[in-house]
Chains A and B, each alone.
Chain A
Amino acid sequence: MQQEPIQILLAEDDEDDRLFFKKAFNDIKIKTNVRFVNDGVELMNHLTQSSSQLPHILFLDLNMPRKNGLECLVEIKRMTHLKHIAIAIYSTSSSDKDIEETFVQGANIYIKKPSDFTVLKQILEEVVKVNWQYQTSGLNRDTYLLSL
């Protein structure tokens, strides 16, 4: 049923975390194509270049040097051509206040960074599955909120 791989972009400054994500995406059933940027500045450059292929889902680390995840989120949500990208914020914080604030700023998904690889894999699989429903079943993106 699935034809094209789901395009994933990950903004993360930590190399170990990048490898973790890469490996987790390789292990899940749904086909994905994962690319990386190292920080927020690089991310914004990438997204505003007209030649770049835009991702279906953007994973944003909240703590990045130069420009953090929240700043990127706010900028992206103000740009018309980027508004439709599903944005998944992930962070070590699990405070309800932080979670609510990122949603208010326009994030679609909030992921509490797990320390366990198997848990990460389950979470990413869930995110990709839910997002696929949004891509194929015409669900409303304005009310797309998911906390994991």
Chain B
Amino acid sequence: MNLYLKFDSGIAFKKIIQEQMDKLNIKYAYIGFAEIEIDDAISSARLNEINTSLCNYGIEIVENQKNILVQKIKDTIIEMVYMDDKLPTSNSYYISDKLKQRYSYISSVFSEVTYTSIENFIILQKIERAKQLISANQVTFTEIAYMLNYSSIAHFSTQFKGVTGITPSTFQRILTKRRKNNLDLK
């Protein structure tokens, strides 16, 4: 049986931080948006301990402002791609409006830190959402194309194939066969 879960990553994040910091016996204050405050006098060895215990959860301490901005950009993009409604028509306007920074600045910091462009990252996330929707098997390709703001189903299919190397229908067929295989094994 496959269960499809929804979850709140914010709550999970806070809980992990709380558990790990308690375990290390470090006092902290949660400031919000992936930011916590700890005592300035903390040693770098202790900082390393924090980093080591958090990295098991895919969380790492980012020192500089650029990395923080990149994380905010990624979060904003993911939030945008996973909106229940149709995606905004202008990505760049949406992102710079949310982050209150000039788009040219946002975009250059993003490329500098991640070796990829914001446009590429958005495409990657849109295809990821499309995969999730195909996998859940509740909406048609036409509906997916509309939700993710593609001008046509052909445009959607072409971009899907561009990113994954396979068409949406092949992708769907592979997932269906895999599920059947797994059921047969049990």
Q: Which A residues lie at the B interface, using CB under 8 A?
A: 1, 29-30, 78, 96, 99-100, 103-106, 110, 129, 133, 136-140, 142-143, 145-148
Contacts and interface: CB of A to CB of B under 8 A. Distances in A.
A136 B74 CA distance: 11
A1 B166 contact: no
21 contacts: A1-B67, A30-B115, A78-B185, A96-B170, A100-B173, A103-B174, A103-B178, A104-B174, A104-B181, A105-B181, A129-B116, A136-B58, A140-B131, A142-B135, A143-B128, A143-B131, A143-B134, A145-B165, A145-B171, A146-B165, A147-B164
Contacts of B165: 110, 145-148
Interface residues of B, number: 25
Given A129-B116, A143-B175, 17 more contacts: A1-B67, A96-B170, A100-B173, A100-B174, A103-B178, A104-B178, A110-B165, A137-B124, A140-B131, A140-B132, A143-B132, A143-B135, A143-B171, A145-B166, A147-B165, A147-B166, A148-B165
Interface in B130-186: 131-132, 134-135, 164-166, 170-171, 173-175, 177-178, 181, 185
A114 B58 CA distance: 35
Contacts of A1: 67, 113-115
Contact of B58 (A78, A133, A138): A138
Contacts of B124: 133, 137, 139
A63 to B, nearest CB: 21
The 8 tightest CB contacts between A and B, nearest first, are: A147-B165, A143-B131, A104-B177, A103-B174, A147-B166, A139-B128, A1-B113, A104-B174
A106 B132 CA distance: 17
Nearest to B175: A143
A100 B170 CA distance: 8
